[in-house]
């Protein structure tokens, strides 16, 4: 109505509209099919209503969120409507997202729906979009489709496919060179070009990394070259790691036991030194250990070294605890490992395999964390049977 009677509206010859004239004017390119209408919808019934709306007004529709889009994938595919998803949003946070699931992107792509993978929360974490694509691949989306979902498909959804989204002659040269598979969490960009211009690979994170890479200025000991350290992605220079050093534990501990029961095992050396750590507890024939690290069980001295050395020391301590409890590494059912650098995952696995050679190896979860107590690089806990 506004488009057909704009002149009358400006002469105040029409009844008032619910929306402001500027808002109505801004909608005109969308109603004319020049730009897409992006509409947030998660519930399947809402998505179907959006499809009916787009069909009635001949709109170019893009669905954002689409937690239950997999339920109406055939209808979306028939209408050729792209769906922008965030694969890690796989839990029902409201009644609208009760049908959320990890393989949403895979099911949509299999049905022929154009899939776009994005980060839909705070914009500064857009850097996690490659991780989101990797999550989708882990849950059934083909690798090539996932890569297209963060490159060409977004450009096509917004009508920019002729100039953006892929590497081709005549297109805008926005390029990223990665150290490995771009969908792997351990890979890092080594070069970035925006419109053909190289962008300096310096950020607040790299400045903080370089500032604290060596602990000399903080009294942490001399810094030495490490042969297995990864090169810095921004300069190519060899990285350095701090030399092994001894750190005295504090007089009290955050991990103090609150349970005086005799089934709560403690080391007499711990009692002598003040902090009380619970190495393990047993219950119904199972052993549940605390997080083990590179801690000397006799002196409670902490030895910090590289990740390989700490992994070996940690698993040695874990084995000692299990054997004292009447179990062993061969009886371990589940391992949970925390490491501070997933880039050294292969080195971690090499040491790990020596302690669990098989054939019956335990289930395992490995998590990268920003920091561990006392600046450990590795912490491992286990569940075993007696």
pLDDT digits (tens, 9 = 90+) for 75-123: 999 999 999 999 999 998 899 999 999 999 999 999 999 999 999 988 8
Pairwise pLDDT comparison (180 vs 373), residue with the higher score: 180
Same domain, 258 and 133: no
Residues 235 and 286 in one domain: no
Domain shared by 44 and 147, yes or no: yes
List Cβ neighbours of 21 (8 Å cut-off, separation of 6 or more). Answer: 2, 9
Evaluate whether 280 touches 290 at the Cβ level (below 8 Å).
yes
pLDDT value at 261 more than 50: no
For residue 50, give the 3-state DSSP assignment.
helix
Which pair of structure tokens corresponds to residue 268?
């007499």
pTM: 0.54
CATH of the domain at 142: 3.20.20.140
Of 215, 242, 269, the last residue of a domain is 242
Q: Are residues 236 and 266 in the same domain?
A: no
B/e letters for 149-165, b = 16+ CB within 10 Å, e = fewer, are: bbbbbbbbbbeeeeebb
Percent of the chain at pLDDT > 70 equals 78
User: Are 297 and 373 members of one domain?
Assistant: yes
- The better pLDDT of the pair 216, 139 is held by 139
Contact 201, 220 (CB under 8 A): no
Q: What is the mean pLDDT of the chain?
A: 82
Whole-number Å distance between alpha carbons of 83 and 60: 12
pLDDT of 290 higher than 50 = yes
Shared-domain flag, residues 45 and 92:
yes
Burial of 279 (0-12, 13-18, 19+ CB in 10 A): buried
CA–CA dist 100, 76 (Å, integer) = 17
Number of domains in the chain: 3
Among the listed residues 35, 48, 64, 366, the single catalytic one is: 366
**Is 31 a member of any domain?**
no
Domain edge (last residue) among 144, 168, 192:
168
The answer to whether residues 256 and 292 belong to one domain is yes
**DSSP labels, 265-283:** ---HHHHHHS-----EEEE
Average pLDDT over residues 276-305: 80
Q: What are the pLDDT digits (tens) for 219-258? A: 654 444 444 444 444 445 444 444 444 444 444 333 333 3
Range of the domain at 236: 207-242
Task: Based on the residue annotation, tell me whether 276 is a catalytic residue of this protein.
Answer: no
In a domain, 122, yes or no: yes
Count CA atoms closer than 13 A to 66's CA, side-chain side: 35
Domain membership flag for residue 142: yes
Say whether both 95 and 142 belong to one domain.
Answer: yes
Residue 1 lies in a domain: no
Residues 252 and 377 placed together within one structural domain of the fold:
yes
In a domain, 218, yes or no: yes
Residue in 114, 136, 133, 35 with CA at minimum distance from that of residue 69: 114
Residues 372 and 321 occupy one common structural domain: yes
Q: Is 37 helix (H, G, I), strand (E, B) or coil?
A: strand
Return the higher-pLDDT residue of 158 and 276: 158
User: Is 297 within a domain?
Assistant: yes
Tell me if 323 is assigned to some domain: yes
Model pLDDT for residues 5-35, shown as the tens digit of each residue: 666 666 666 667 667 777 788 888 888 889 9
């Amino acid at each position: 109505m506004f488009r057909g009677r704009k002149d009358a509206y400006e002469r105040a010859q029409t009844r008032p509209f619910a929306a402001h004239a500027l808002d109505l004017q801004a909608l005109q390119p969308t109603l004319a099919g020049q730009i897409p209408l992006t509409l947030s919808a998660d519930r399947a019934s809402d998505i179907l209503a959006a499809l009916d709306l787009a069909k009635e007004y001949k709109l170019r529709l893009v669905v954002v969120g689409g937690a239950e889009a997999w339920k109406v994938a055939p209808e979306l595919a028939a209408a050729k409507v792209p769906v922008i998803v965030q694969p890690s949003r796989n839990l029902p946070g409201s009644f609208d997202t009760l049908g959320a699931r990890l393989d949403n992107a895979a099911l949509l792509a299999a049905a022929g729906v154009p899939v776009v993978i994005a980060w839909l929360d705070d914009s500064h974490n857009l850097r996690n979009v490659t991780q989101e694509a990797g999550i989708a691949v882990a849950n059934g989306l083909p690798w090539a489709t996932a890569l297209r979902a963060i490159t060409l498909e977004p450009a096509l959804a917004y009508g920019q496919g002729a100039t953006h989204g892929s590497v081709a002659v005549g297109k805008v040269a926005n390029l990223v060179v990665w150290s490995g598979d771009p969908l792997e969490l351990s890979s890092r960009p080594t070069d970035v070009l925006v419109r053909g211009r190289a962008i300096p690979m310096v950020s607040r994170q790299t400045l903080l990394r370089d500032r604290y890479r060596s602990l000399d200025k903080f009294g942490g000991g001399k810094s030495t070259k490490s042969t297995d350290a990864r090169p810095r992605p921004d300069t190519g220079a060899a990285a350095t790691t701090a030399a092994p050093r001894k750190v005295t534990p504090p007089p009290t501990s955050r991990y103090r036991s609150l349970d005086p029961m005799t089934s709560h095992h403690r080391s007499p050396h711990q009692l002598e030194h003040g902090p009380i750590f619970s190495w393990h507890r047993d219950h119904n024939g199972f052993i549940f250990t605390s997080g083990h690290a590179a801690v000397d069980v006799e002196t409670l001295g902490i030895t910090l070294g590289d990740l390989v050395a700490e992994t070996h020391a940690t698993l040695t301590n874990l084995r000692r605890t299990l054997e004292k409890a009447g179990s062993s590494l061969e009886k371990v059912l589940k391992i949970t490992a925390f490491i501070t650098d997933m880039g050294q995952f292969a080195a971690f696995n090499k040491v790990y395999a020596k302690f669990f050679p098989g054939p019956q190896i335990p289930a395992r979860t490995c998590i990268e964390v920003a920091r561990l107590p006392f600046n450990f690089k590795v912490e491992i806990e286990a569940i075993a049977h007696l």
